[in-house]
């Protein structure tokens, strides 16, 4: 396989595949989310071709997409064919969330056709985000069992899963021993999944980090305080090096779709010297603000479950980041995704808190949780966006009902 001396490669766990520590993620191409998925605008095609060409030239050999990314599989299929890339020059990961064995086979065949490939190197069950979905994925004669049959047939080479689940569910999924890799969230500003990263390493699974720049803190648009703390390197470099300082971590998925994205992300590479003196000094500076936060939530999760389904630790994590790092923009971006992403980002807004007090005796820090929740809500809540989303959901439900009655 062609490699670039400037790129770094790691073994993707028990798959034994050597992949670049930076992955080309295919979620953000121009107009990539507009249906239908097989209609490819000229701008989308040009964007994907130029991005893919640059990635391969720089030694990135791992490409990640998913059926859920609308046009992405079709765009990569077109681009790789147009560029005439030899099959041994890249590793392809795609994902899907079929609910039955038959649906799994049908979906994988459609995805291979869209990608223009005879097989995919890595197939992930997309979104084991709660225990119910884990049960669906691993049921007898279900999706994962069928994926293993497809592996025997040569259509899929390695099987894993992606997840936005609570830590306990991720641990449970890893312990099934049905998977060779896991795609999860783990960054400097979100370290709760460290036990899952460590367990995956113990079980020789590849570890793929999802969206370290965006969901990891909107680091392409960091607060001035974060920039100053990371100086003389960038927040993107610091966070990437933090992730890669863990030997269990194989690769970071970057949603690169513009030329300047490559220089920003490749700057994090450090010849595998990720625990050097410079990094240690910066990390010490980055850690310091947490000690000064009054009412710091340690994110232990003991306050859960909440009777109103408020994801208390996540809301208070946003408060920590605002108080310690002036990350209000990031907090607002994430907080206002609540009640709109289903199991991908579960939980309700903090205004649902009834001050029942159920969480208070369980908090080891003795925090006034209802008060902190409402303070954070007032800082982050986007009321116009909330009502706009509610109106759109209502209209969508009406149109869906209308179509239902039309079918009679």
pLDDT value, residue 405:
47
Q: What is the dotted CATH code of the domain comprising 9-282?
A: 3.20.20.100
Q: Report how far apart, in Å, the C-alpha atoms of 170 and of each of 192, 193, 282 are.
A: 11, 8, 30
Task: Decide if 197 contacts 207 (C-beta within 8 A).
Answer: yes
Which tens digit of pLDDT belongs to each residue from 168-225?
999 999 999 999 999 999 999 999 999 999 999 999 999 999 999 999 999 999 999 9
Q: How far is CA 155 from CA 21, 158, 159, 317, 356, in A?
A: 25, 10, 11, 41, 53
Query: pLDDT digit string (tens) for 331-379?
Result: 999 999 999 899 999 999 999 999 999 999 999 999 999 999 999 999 9
Please give the model's pTM, rounded to 2 decimal places. Answer: 0.93
The pair of structure tokens assigned to 316 is: 């208070």
* Predicted local distance difference test score (pLDDT) of residue 3: 57
How would residue 4 be classed by pLDDT, with cut points 50, 70 and 90? low
pLDDT 10s digits, 283-328? 999 999 999 999 999 999 999 999 999 999 999 999 999 999 999 9
pLDDT digits (tens, 9 = 90+) for 127-155: 999 999 999 999 999 999 999 999 999 99
Find residue 126's DSSP bridge partners. Answer: 162
Lowest-confidence segment of 64-68, 197-201, 251-255, 369-373 by average pLDDT: 251-255
Domain spans in the chain, listed from the N-terminal domain onward: 9-282, 293-388
Look over the chain and give the mean of its residue pLDDT values, rounded to a whole number.
Answer: 94
């Amino acid at each position: 396989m062609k490699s670039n001396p400037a790129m770094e490669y790691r073994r993707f766990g028990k798959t034994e595949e050597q992949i670049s520590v930076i992955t080309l993620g295919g979620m953000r191409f121009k107009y990539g989310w507009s249906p239908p998925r097989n209609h490819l605008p000229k701008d989308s095609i040009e964007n994907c071709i130029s991005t893919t060409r640059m990635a391969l030239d720089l030694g990135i050999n791992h490409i990640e997409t998913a059926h859920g990314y609308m046009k992405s599989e079709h765009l990569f299929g077109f681009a790789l064919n147009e560029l005439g890339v030899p099959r041994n020059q890249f590793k392809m990961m795609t994902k899907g969330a079929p609910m039955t064995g038959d649906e799994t086979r049908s979906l994988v065949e459609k995805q291979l056709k869209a990608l223009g490939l005879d097989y995919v190197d890595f197939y992930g069950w997309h979104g084991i985000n709660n225990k119910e979905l884990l049960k669906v994925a691993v049921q007898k004669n279900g999706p994962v069992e069928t994926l293993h049959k497809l592996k025997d047939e040569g259509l899929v080479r390695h099987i894993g899963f992606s997840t936005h689940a609570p830590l306990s569910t991720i641990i449970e999924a890893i312990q099934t021993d049905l998977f060779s890799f896991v795609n999860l969230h783990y960054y400097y500003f979100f370290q709760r999944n460290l036990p899952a990263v460590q367990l995956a390493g113990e079980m020789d699974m590849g570890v793929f980090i999802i969206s370290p720049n965006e969901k990891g803190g909107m680091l392409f648009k960091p607060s001035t305080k974060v920039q100053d703390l990371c100086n003389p390197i960038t927040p993107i470099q610091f966070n990437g090096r933090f992730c890669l300082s863990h030997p269990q971590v194989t690769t970071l998925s970057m949603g690169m779709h513009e030329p300047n994205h490559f220089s920003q992300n490749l700057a994090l590479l450090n010849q595998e010297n990720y625990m050097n003196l410079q990094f240690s000094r910066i990390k010490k500076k980055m850690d310091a603000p947490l000690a000064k936060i009054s009412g710091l939530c340690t994110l232990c999760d003991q306050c859960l479950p909440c009777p109103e389904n408020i994801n208390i630790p996540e809301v208070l994590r946003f408060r920590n980041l605002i108080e310690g790092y002036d990350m209000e923009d990031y907090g607002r971006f994430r907080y206002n995704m609540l009640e709109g992403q289903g199991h991908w980002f579960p939980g309700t807004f903090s205004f649902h808190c009834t001050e029942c007090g159920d969480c208070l005796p369980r908090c080891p820090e003795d925090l006034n949780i209802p008060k902190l929740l409402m303070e954070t809500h007032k800082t982050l809540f986007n009321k116009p966006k909330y009502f706009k989303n509610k109106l759109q959901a209502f209209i969508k439900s009406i149109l869906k009902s209308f179509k239902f009655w039309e079918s009679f």
